Amino acid sequence: MTSGPVSAGLVSCVALLGALTGSVAPVVARRFVTVSRPPARTPPNGSTAGLALLGALLFGGLAATRDADPALPAYLLVGAVGLVLALVDLACLRLPDRLVGAAALGGGLGLAGAALAAGTPERLLGVLAGAGLSFAGYVVLALLPGSRLGFGDVKLAAALGLPLGWLGWPSLGLGLLLPHLLNGVLVLALLATGRVRRDTALPFGPALLVGAWLAVLLA
């Protein structure tokens, strides 16, 4: 579905909601941070303004590009949960099942409602196919020798496959490819600056989420 003329008022309101979401995300994330795996850092306390700006950018970008799409509320819900997931993964290399499940369930129900409201229930086949293909593809990648993908990453990829599947095969393919490109550039930069070593464990969840967000914006 193509987006109609962008409403400045809608974008502003959604961006404000995103700023609020970014501000409270660390509070929610702390409930899911564990110390069982390194680096076990606490989600940022002193960067509330930065996270508010990030939330505004995240939500505002979705509203600006998908304002006429009935699935916009589903995108926003997944984006809100995704922001918390990114903070938890950065803190302790963990993607809690409860959060991933909330993103999948909320996003799936939102997309189902959008399909019924628009009179296009057949689009749900693409949604389910997107989740299934994402899951299968990341299972294969996680089982490859030397792979550093965890099954939390696999489950998150499946959850993100739902909204990407709604947008069609090009968006799904882009959403699956971009995380690896983004993560590769980041790892090379960190290695070049001596911030990490080759055996340093790094979170992949944020790259998955950013890649999916960019794929939605470019759809």
pLDDT tens across 87-128, in order?
999 999 999 999 999 999 999 999 999 999 999 999 999 999
Residue ranges of domains in the chain: 8-218
Q: Give the rounded percent of residues in the chain with a pLDDT score beyond 90.
A: 77
In whole angstroms, what is the distance from residue 152 CA to residue 138 CA?
10
pLDDT (mean) for 188-198: 87
- CA 41, 44, 48 angle in degrees (round to 5)? 175
pLDDT tens-digit map of 16-59: 999 999 999 999 999 999 865 555 455 544 478 899 999 999 99
**Is residue 92 left, alpha or beta, with left meaning phi > 0 and alpha meaning psi from -120 to 50?**
alpha
Q: What is the pLDDT of residue 43?
A: 52
In whole angstroms, what is the distance from residue 62 CA to residue 189 CA?
28
SS3 at position 150: coil
- pTM to 2 decimal places: 0.90
Q: Give the rounded percent of residues in the chain with a pLDDT score beyond 70.
A: 92
- Residue 1 — very low, low, confident or very high, per pLDDT cuts 50/70/90? very low
Token representation of residue 35: 């110390």
- Residue 67 — very low, low, confident or very high, per pLDDT cuts 50/70/90? confident
Cβ distance 32 to 96 under 8 Å? yes
- CA 54, 57, 59 angle in degrees (round to 5)? 105
Q: What is the pLDDT of residue 198?
A: 83
- What element of type H or E holds 92? helix 72-92
Q: What is the pLDDT of residue 195?
A: 84
- E-strand ranges in the chain read none
Q: Is the pLDDT of residue 3 over 50?
A: no
Q: What is the pLDDT of residue 41?
A: 52
